[in-house]
């Protein structure tokens, strides 16, 4: 029998919050000391892939406002659905370096103002070939300002109007300025390829490993095996992606056998279930950066002395040990620890209450009360916020923690308030800078805008000379370390729960990389 035509069972009913939580109090057991050892991999009853069955995964969701438009991808549940249905030209590998996907090669001209990109033979779910015209249409849709799509900032270096199709599988991307590293641009978060002319995503068509079956926003997404997938057909017949309102519900669903994969487990849950036969713990190494974002364009954090007081008063070791446990390491107020271009030679900051108190006095902020916005929708946010408020109090600064609604948290805190909990998945330092630290960045949570900083980024991004790029990124990070508004207190592995029968999941893939939230290589033992 042709595996592309295996019979498909009807999807299970979507799981409600009550049905998740109704599995009992199993997730409230006593906390065990120590999480599973770093580098431990998920195991399975068999190492031989098996075909068939339905794989069920549960993620934190975005509620009734969820959509299947891949260019609006925001939450991890969106990533999982988009990875099932669509492909990008390039993706980040485990080391955050470029991995070819729909693109097989990319070559610059002499001054890196134009790049030739070649496509592999691939087809959409309706049998149409993936063509250069589809790529150009997808990117034109992303960069169109009236669409307000997230990947736009990453792709803005490409001048779509002057880019062209050489033939069906060859594209010339013309750049609005020299672009030293186009692969990093093509791998941008959310830069998926859709068929030319697509405007309706109620029954989406992509070139990914699974084809659309059904979707209930905020509840359930079901997709079926695509037998003609260019990277090999999936082992499972169906993939169901469920969403649950909180981490306890996700863990209970895994323990009760309602799902085979539970995304984003807390450190506490991982410790609790590390020896439980019903759970495997899968680590996505160095996947999350944890911090607080101070808006530098308004009082009180337009005062550099107060920002420096915040850097001095935070006890990073206490936050890491309490919130992240053995999955975490201390941060140093810079993004991208241990990745390419990271300024690891800058002195590690330690808590210094005397310095913090002196800087608070210098800033005239002795009696200041600061509101810290956070949300319970992200693991560890509220706990970290409360610990930080206690630490600030030791230095004589009052921090009031305000817990907001999860579905609007990121939109609200982008422009509102002065201090907020912040978290980021893994990405190259270049991408983080482009998306969040430039005057034109659409996700500039600290409102950091410095023309000299922008100029350094232009130097780095336009050069193909790695030495030039390295020096520019070092200077940019030195500025952020001295004057920026992002207080980075830790980095951690992301933790996920797997059923014992689930095998074939990528073992060393940080979030936002090729192996994360993908199920096309997995199987049910």
CA distance 436 to 446: 8
pLDDT surpassing 90 at residue 64: no
Domain of residue 101 covers 92-197
pLDDT in tens, 6-29: 333 333 333 443 344 333 333 322
Q: Are residues 460 and 424 in the same domain?
A: yes
Answer whether 79's CB lies under 8 Å from 513's CB: no
Mean pLDDT within 42-59:
82
Question: What CATH number does residue 170 fall under?
Answer: 3.90.76.10
pTM confidence score: 0.80
pLDDT surpassing 80 at residue 37: no
What was the pLDDT predicted at 30?
Answer: 26
What was the pLDDT predicted at 379?
Answer: 82
Mean pLDDT within 353-382:
95
Question: What CATH number does residue 245 fall under?
Answer: 3.40.190.10
Assess if residue 62 is contained within a domain: yes
Assess if residue 202 is contained within a domain: no
Residue after which a domain boundary falls, among 197, 223, 249:
197
* Mean pLDDT for the chain overall: 90
Name the residue with higher pLDDT: 154 or 162: 162
Answer whether 435's CB lies under 8 Å from 443's CB: yes
Percent of the chain residues past pLDDT 90, beyond the cut: 79
Q: Are residues 274 and 301 in the same domain?
A: no
Question: What CATH number does residue 306 fall under?
Answer: 3.10.105.10
pLDDT in tens, 273-293: 999 999 999 998 889 999 999
CA distance 384 to 379: 10
What was the pLDDT predicted at 65?
Answer: 84
* DSSP class of 121: P
Residue after which a domain boundary falls, among 141, 162, 197:
197
pLDDT in tens, 448-472: 999 999 999 999 999 989 999 999 9
Domain count, the chain: 3
pLDDT surpassing 90 at residue 128: yes
Q: Are residues 129 and 60 in the same domain?
A: no
CA distance 515 to 101: 12
Q: Are residues 186 and 220 in the same domain?
A: no
Q: Are residues 373 and 267 in the same domain?
A: no
Assess if residue 356 is contained within a domain: yes
Assess if residue 21 is contained within a domain: no
pLDDT in tens, 503-525: 999 988 998 899 999 999 999 99
Structure tokens at 148: 């307000």
* Mode of pairing for the β-strands spanning 398-404 and 419-425: unpaired
Give the number of other CB atoms < 10 A from CB of residue 43. Answer: 11
What was the pLDDT predicted at 296?
Answer: 98
Q: Are residues 180 and 222 in the same domain?
A: no
DSSP assignment of 332-399 equals: -S-S-TTSTT--TTSPPP---HHHHHHHHHHTT-TT-EEEEEEETTSTTHHHHHHHHHHHHHHTT-EE
Assess if residue 186 is contained within a domain: yes
Q: Are residues 267 and 342 in the same domain?
A: no
Q: Are residues 441 and 334 in the same domain?
A: yes
Assess if residue 17 is contained within a domain: no
| Local structure of 210: helix, strand or coil | strand
Q: Are residues 274 and 387 in the same domain?
A: no
What was the pLDDT predicted at 46?
Answer: 58
pLDDT in tens, 237-277: 999 999 997 899 999 999 999 999 999 998 889 999 999 99
Assess if residue 470 is contained within a domain: yes
CA distance 517 to 50: 20
Residue after which a domain boundary falls, among 197, 222, 243:
197
Q: Are residues 270 and 228 in the same domain?
A: yes
Name the residue with higher pLDDT: 178 or 286: 178
Lowest-pLDDT range, 33-42, 189-198, 318-327, 378-387?
Answer: 33-42
Q: Are residues 261 and 295 in the same domain?
A: no
Q: Are residues 70 and 100 in the same domain?
A: no
The b/e string for 368-393 (b: 16+ C-beta within 10 A; e otherwise) is bebebbbbbbbbbbbbbbebbbebbe
pLDDT in tens, 194-243: 999 999 999 999 999 999 999 999 999 999 999 999 999 999 999 999 99
Assess if residue 43 is contained within a domain: no
CA distance 224 to 212: 6
With 0-12 / 13-18 / 19 or more C-beta atoms within 10 angstroms meaning exposed / middle / buried, residue 18 is exposed
What was the pLDDT predicted at 437?
Answer: 97
pLDDT surpassing 80 at residue 33: no
What was the pLDDT predicted at 35?
Answer: 31
């Amino acid at each position: 029998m042709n595996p592309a035509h295996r019979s498909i069972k009807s999807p299970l009913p979507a799981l409600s919050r009550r049905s998740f939580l109704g599995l009992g109090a199993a997730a409230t057991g006593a906390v065990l000391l120590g999480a599973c050892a770093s580098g431990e991999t998920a195991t399975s009853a068999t190492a031989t892939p098996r075909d068939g069955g339905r794989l069920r995964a549960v993620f934190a969701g975005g509620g009734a406002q969820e959509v299947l438009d891949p260019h609006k991808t925001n939450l991890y549940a969106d990533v999982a659905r988009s990875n099932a249905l669509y492909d990008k030209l390039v993706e980040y590998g485990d080391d955050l370096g470029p991995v070819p996907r729909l693109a097989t090669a990319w070559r610059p001209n002499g001054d890196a103002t134009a790049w030739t990109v070649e496509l592999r033979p691939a087809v959409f779910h309706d049998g149409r070939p993936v063509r250069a015209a589809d790529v150009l249409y997808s990117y034109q849709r992303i960069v169109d300002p009236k669409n307000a799509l997230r990947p736009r900032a990453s792709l803005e270096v490409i001048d779509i109007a002057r880019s062209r199709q050489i033939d069906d599988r060859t594209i010339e991307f013309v750049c609005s300025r020299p672009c030293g590293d186009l692969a990093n641009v093509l791998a941008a978060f959310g830069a998926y390829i859709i068929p030319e002319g697509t405007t309706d995503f109620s029954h989406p068509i992509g070139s990914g490993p699974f084809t659309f079956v059904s979707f209930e926003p905020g509840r359930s997404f079901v997709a079926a095996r695509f037998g003609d997938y260019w990277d090999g057909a999936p082992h499972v017949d169906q993939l169901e992606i469920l969403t649950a309102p909180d981490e306890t519900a996700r863990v209970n669903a895994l323990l009760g056998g309602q799902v085979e994969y539970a995304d984003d487990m807390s450190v506490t849950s991982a410790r609790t279930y590390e020896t439980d036969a019903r759970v495997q713990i899968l680590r996505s190494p160095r996947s999350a950066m944890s911090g607080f974002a101070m808006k530098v364009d308004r009082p009180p954090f337009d005062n550099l002395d107060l920002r420096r007081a915040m850097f001095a008063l935070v006890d990073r070791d206490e936050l890491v040990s309490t919130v992240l446990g053995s999955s975490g390491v201390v941060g140093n107020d810079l993004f991208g620890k241990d990745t390419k271009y990271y300024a690891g030679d800058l002195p590690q900051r330690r808590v210094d209450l005397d310095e913090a108190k002196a800087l608070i006095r210098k800033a005239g902020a002795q009696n200041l009360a600061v509101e810290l916005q956070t949300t319970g929708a992200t693991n560890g946010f509220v706990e970290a916020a409360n610990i930080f408020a206690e630490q600030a109090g030791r230095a004589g600064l009052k921090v009031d923690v305000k817990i907001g609604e999860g579905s609007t948290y990121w939109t609200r805190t982008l422009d509102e308030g002065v201090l907020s909990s912040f978290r980021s998945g893994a990405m190259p330092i270049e991408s983080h800078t482009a998306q969040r630290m430039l005057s034109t960045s659409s996700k500039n949570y600290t409102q950091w805008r410095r023309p000299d900083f922008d100029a350094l980024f232009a130097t780095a991004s336009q050069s193909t000379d790695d030495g030039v790029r390295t020096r520019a990124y070092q200077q940019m990070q030195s500025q952020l370390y001295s004057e920026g508004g992002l207080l980075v207190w830790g980095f951690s592995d992301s933790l996920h729960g797997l059923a014992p029968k689930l095998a074939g999941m990528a073992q060393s893939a940080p979030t936002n990389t090729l192996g994360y939230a993908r199920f096309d290589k997995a199987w049910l033992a």
